[in-house]
Amino acid sequence: MSRLVRWIFALLAGTACVLGGISLSMLVADRQLTKPSKDFAFAADLLEHDGYGALARLIGGARSEVLISARQLTSRAVLDALKAASDRGITVRIILDPGSNPDPAASALGFLMQNHVGRVLISSRPLYDQFAVIDRETIVTTAAPWSAVAARDLASIVLLRHRGAGAIMRKHFDILAGDARPAHG
């Protein structure tokens, strides 16, 4: 991982405590992200404060591309937003964890496959972090799985908007995708 990415994530982790009382959902909806410079914006919140709703709205506002890497993806708001983005012609690519999504009929994989939502891949190795890259500049990341159960846990969600960091995370996604296999329903 490059020094820039490590520095950015260390900065974000430190600011999560400061911003914890501000709803990420409100920040996204009101476009009031903290902006230390004109090219960089971030926000952090707890998942229980409508973090998945904020992620769904960001996906809903995508103009060209949504990339998702997720250990577990069962948040209905996020799944519906991915389907809507795909239906609008947005490029959607998703990498799922091999152990958390084994049965297409009983998991997010089934929903994605049945609804023809983008290109779905299964990672060859376990995925330990969840992240989205939207329009090559907005990164959303959590340590918790993207599930209804995790939304009640005390976990953080972090949003970062920066073209350079987005390009780095897109390259990271492409590395993961190169090591994954196509999902089959």
Would you state the structure tokens that stand for residue 159, as one six-digit string? 């949003």
Task: Count CA within 13 A, CB hemisphere, residue 79.
Answer: 19
pLDDT one-digit tens code per residue, 59-100: 999 999 999 999 888 888 899 999 999 999 999 999 998 887
Chain-centre distance for alpha carbon 165: 14
Quick one: pLDDT at residue 143?
75
- Tens digits of per-residue pLDDT, 94-135? 999 888 765 666 677 888 888 899 999 999 998 887 899 999
What's the pLDDT tens digit per position in 155-184? 677 888 888 889 999 999 999 999 999 987
Q: What is the pLDDT of residue 10?
A: 46
Reference 133, options 108, 168, 157; nearest CA is 168
pLDDT for residue 151 is more than 80: no
The Cα–Cα gap between 98 and 39 comes to: 36
Q: In sequence order, which residues have a C-beta less than 8 Å from that of residue 61 and are 6 or more positions away?
A: 134
Kindly list the structural domains of the chain, giving each domain's residue range(s) and its CATH number in brackets, ordered by start: 3-182 (3.30.870.10)
Burial of 12 (0-12, 13-18, 19+ CB in 10 A): buried
Check residue 170 and give its pLDDT.
94
Length of the chain: 185
pTM of the predicted protein model: 0.77
Q: What is the pLDDT of residues 6-59, one digit of tens each?
A: 545 544 444 443 333 344 444 454 555 455 455 666 676 665 666 778 888 899
Residues 6+ apart with CB under 8 A from 102: none
Which DSSP symbol is given to 22? Answer: S
User: Residue 178's pLDDT is what?
Assistant: 95
